[in-house]
Amino acid sequence: MGLDFGTAVLLVLLGFGVGAFGTLVGAGGGFILTPVLLLLYPHDSPKLLTAISLMAVFFNAASGTAAYARQRRTDFRSGVVFGIATVPGAIGGALLVSHVTRGVFDPLMGATLAILALWLILAGKRLDGAKLRESRWQTVHRQLIDARGKRYEYDVPLLKGAVLSLGVGFFSSFLGIGGGVIHVPLLVAALGFPTHIATATSHFVLAVMAGTGTLTHLAAGTFQHGHGLRRGAALSVGVVAGAQLGARVSLRLSGRIIQWLLALALAALATRLLLSV
């Protein structure tokens, strides 16, 4: 039996809001969607809810990537390397989550969001326009000029980024949060990306990672339980439209404001989720 019309409309609207905000901060929206799904469906398994979230994140990331590509802010050369690196981690995370109960998953999710929020707040002064410190990692020089003529120049340690992306792929697929909420701070603070390039490039990597996780769940039969596929489809309709709005609004905001919006959203969701445990 399918979802009733009212529930489907609400999921589409939820997807729109998640898609707009997720694309604005470059995080894909999964960091909002998974906690919300945990609160809306307290009796469903982490496996099903993370699968639904990853499906929506994939469509959000694909839509956002198309929008950011038009703005010419995506570092596709680095993104391909990082995206490929997330694949084995995304498969492992999608398979492992089926062995975790809600009693373990909910507080783990809340604690993860709280740590990420604290990291963004404490590291905020270093993130905006961060310069990569001298290290033993070999770097490649990047130069991008966006559609408005703004020039970005930075150096990228590709091997370091690939190693970090492997871990991001695992944890983001396991938690169903898409990974952008982890990957954007890493791209900026650890790899030296300008914030706007990081948000755009993260969306491209997210599309690869979330697509891999979603296909893994499909192969494992996760969506056969409950109305998972229908819920995911309704949310995906909303996030595709919301992502276009989020990408447009991002042009009007500074990198620092984007970082604070991300941190505040993480802190609020972490508090709500931990209080519900």
The predicted-structure confidence for 191-244, as pLDDT tens digits, reads as follows 889 988 998 998 899 899 999 999 999 999 988 766 788 899 999 999 888 888
pLDDT at 247: 80
pLDDT at 14: 93
pLDDT at 135: 57
**Distance separating alpha carbons of residues 107 and 22, to the nearest angstrom:** 22
Residue with tokens 């609400």: 10
Average pLDDT, the chain: 84
Q: At what angle do helices 255-275 and 30-40 cross, to 10 degrees?
A: 20
Binned at pLDDT 50, 70 and 90, residue 130 comes out as very low
Number of independent structural domains in the chain: 1
Are 226 and 48 within 8 A, CB to CB? yes
Could you tell me the residue range of the domain that residue 52 belongs to?
5-275
Structure tokens at 274: 């931990």
- What are the pLDDT digits (tens) for 57-111? 898 888 889 888 999 999 999 999 999 999 999 999 999 998 998 888 888 888 8
Percentage above 90 pLDDT, the chain: 36
Strands (E), the chain: 140-145, 151-156
Phi, psi of 152, rounded to the nearest 5 degrees:
-120, 130
Question: DSSP assignment, residue 224?
Answer: G
Is 0.85 surpassed by the pTM of this model?
no
pLDDT at 20: 87
pLDDT at 79: 96
pLDDT at 110: 84
